């Protein structure tokens, strides 16, 4: 029996290279070793965007097409949409009943989200009941498939801690049933944005998985380089080249990186030329992924089939767990 992995993303639109290198590549690797469940967390998107749902469907499709393009394989993993598995909502009810209010109130991730919402950026939005329930719903996502490991970023670990507490409480109250899921931190290299800050869609410093080669090349030309370098034959300092050289280290071969370093340090390589080559390099690496993305864009009925079949598989598994849960809680 393989261990079970569950992980999800809120469908906020097309994904960028930070998602690819930091999360999806890791998921792709895990597919062979675990029973994997990957889902678009559209209910979680509603916790803050309940008033802006016109893009929700397209965003969900975009996220899933990005996954498929990157190598998430519907033959190996269950790919589904959270709201197409209503069993999760029922489990959420049971878990909500056994979760003390102060467990959610002290969730640091939630505190951060609340701060952003109340600030000007969030236009002073109030915190709704659903948002308070974020960690409980996330626990339902995880416990729905009795998951063992959750691949997440460090920012989500506090949520997984609450999930473990809820699982333990359920087991104490109703009988041993749920595994205590462990976070599986990935140690992938983090890619920064074109301006040297964290890559993020709202910072306008990202390269999308689905960007064309032309767009990618153009964006790369705006990447920060060694700021002390004014002319192209000035001696460069690759280690102070905040973005371009770091990208080379991610996308280039060892030999290419050594060559860039050497030419840069000797003043034999201008930054513009260097970034033109870098753009070509990234496009070369991304080409097969983008081709696959385009294929799915042109075959929406195939994507729809993958989503519907994955969600049906997820519902079947979820119902089996729910039947057990109902029995343990002693529901009618
Ligand atoms: N909260 C996660 C995020 O914002 C998304 C998510 C929802 C999730 N449910 C999950 C991740 C369950 C892992 C497991 O990125
Ligand atoms: Fe960076 Fe390349 Fe310019 Fe050197 S030549 S500073 S590595 S962009």
Domain 4-191+300-329 has CATH 1.20.120.80: no
What is the model's pLDDT at position 189? 64
**Unique residue bearing structure tokens 């519902």:** 315
Per-residue pLDDT at 154: 84
Long-range contacts of 157-164 (CB under 8 A, 24+ apart): 157/183, 157/185, 158/107, 158/108, 158/109, 159/107, 159/109, 159/134, 159/135, 162/99, 162/103, 162/104, 162/107, 162/135, 162/136, 162/138, 163/135, 163/138, 163/139
Minimal CA–CA distance to 261: which of 272, 250, 248? 248
Atom of ligand 2 nearest to the CA of 261: 7
Q: Give the CA distances from residue 97 to residues 90, 101, 170, 215, 278, in Å, rounded to whole numbers and listed in that order.
A: 11, 10, 10, 50, 54
CATH number of this structure's domain 211-292, picked from the four choices 3.40.50.150, 1.10.240.10, 1.10.1060.10, 1.20.140.10: 1.10.240.10
Tell me the two tokens of residue 199: 């890559």
Q: What is residue 116's predicted lDDT score, i.e. its pLDDT? A: 83
pLDDT score at 112: 85
Per-residue pLDDT of the chain (332 residues; tens, 9 = 90+): 899 999 999 999 999 999 999 999 999 999 999 999 999 999 999 999 999 999 999 999 999 999 999 999 999 999 999 999 999 999 999 999 999 999 999 898 888 888 888 876 666 778 899 999 999 999 999 999 999 999 998 889 999 999 999 999 999 999 999 999 999 987 766 899 999 999 998 899 999 999 999 999 999 999 989 888 888 788 999 999 989 999 999 999 999 999 999 999 999 999 999 999 999 999 999 999 999 999 999 999 999 999 999 999 999 999 999 999 999 999 99
Tokens at 226, concatenated = 């060694």
What is the CA(203)–ligand 2 centre distance, in A?
A: 23
Q: Which ligand 2 atom lies nearest to the CA of residue 229?
A: 6
All structural domains of the chain with their residue ranges: 4-191+300-329, 211-292
CA distance 257 to 134: 43
Report whether residue 6 contacts ligand 1, using a CB cutoff of 6 Å: yes
Decide whether 4-191+300-329 matches 211-292 in CATH topology: no
CA–CA separation, 162 and 325 (whole Å): 19
- The ligand 2 site (C-beta within 6 Å) comprises 225-226, 229, 236, 238, 241, 244-245, 260, 264, 269, 271, 274-275
Q: Kind and range of the H or E element at 78? A: strand 78-81
Report how far ligand 2's centroid is from the alpha carbon of 62 (Å): 34
Q: Which two tokens stand for residue 96?
A: 């909500």
Would you state the pLDDT for residue 121?
A: 66
Using only the alpha carbons of the chain, give its radius of gyration.
22
Closest ligand to the CA of 228 = 2
Can you tell me which atom of ligand 1 is nearest the CA of 134?
Answer: 1
Give, in order, the Cα–Cα distances in Å from 193 to each of 203, 240, 256, 295, 299.
8, 15, 22, 27, 31
Protein residue whose Cα sits closest to atom 8 of ligand 2: 271
């Amino acid at each position: 029996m393989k261990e079970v992995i569950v992980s999800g993303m809120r469908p906020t639109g097309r994904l960028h290279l930070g998602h690819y290198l930091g999360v999806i590549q890791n998921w792709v690797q895990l597919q062979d070793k675990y029973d994997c469940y990957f889902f678009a967390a559209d209910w979680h998107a509603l916790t803050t965007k309940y008033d802006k749902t016109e893009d929700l469907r397209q965003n969900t499709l975009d996220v899933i097409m990005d996954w498929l393009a990157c190598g998430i394989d519907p033959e190996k993993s269950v790919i589904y949409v959270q709201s197409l598995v209503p069993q999760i909502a029922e489990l959420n009810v049971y878990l909500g009943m056994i979760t003390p209010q102060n467990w959610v109130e002290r969730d640091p991730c939630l505190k951060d989200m609340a701060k952003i919402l109340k600030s000007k950026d969030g236009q002073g939005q109030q915190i709704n009941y659903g948002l308070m329930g974020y960690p409980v719903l996330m626990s339902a996502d995880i416990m729905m498939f009795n998951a063992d490991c959750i691949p997440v970023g460090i920012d989500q670990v506090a949520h997984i801690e609450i999930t473990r507490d809820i699982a333990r409480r359920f087991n104490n109250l109703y009988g041993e049933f749920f595994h205590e899921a462990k976070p599986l931190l990935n140690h992938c290299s983090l890619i920064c944005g074109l301006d040297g800050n964290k890559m993020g869609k709202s910072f306008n410093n990202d390269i999308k998985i689905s960007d064309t080669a032309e767009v990618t090349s153009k964006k790369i030309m705006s990447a920060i380089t060694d700021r002390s370098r004014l002319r192209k034959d000035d001696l460069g300092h690759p280690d102070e080249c905040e973005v371009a050289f770091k990208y080379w280290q991610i996308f280039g071969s060892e030999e290419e990186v050594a060559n860039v370093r050497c030419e840069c340090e000797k003043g034999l390589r201008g930054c513009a030329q260097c970034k033109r080559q870098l753009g070509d390099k990234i496009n070369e690496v991304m080409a097969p992924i983008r081709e696959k993305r385009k294929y799915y864009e042109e075959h929406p009925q195939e994507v729809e089939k993958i989503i519907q079949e994955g969600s049906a598989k997820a519902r079947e598994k979820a119902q089996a767990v729910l039947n057990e849960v109902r029995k343990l809680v002693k529901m009618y």
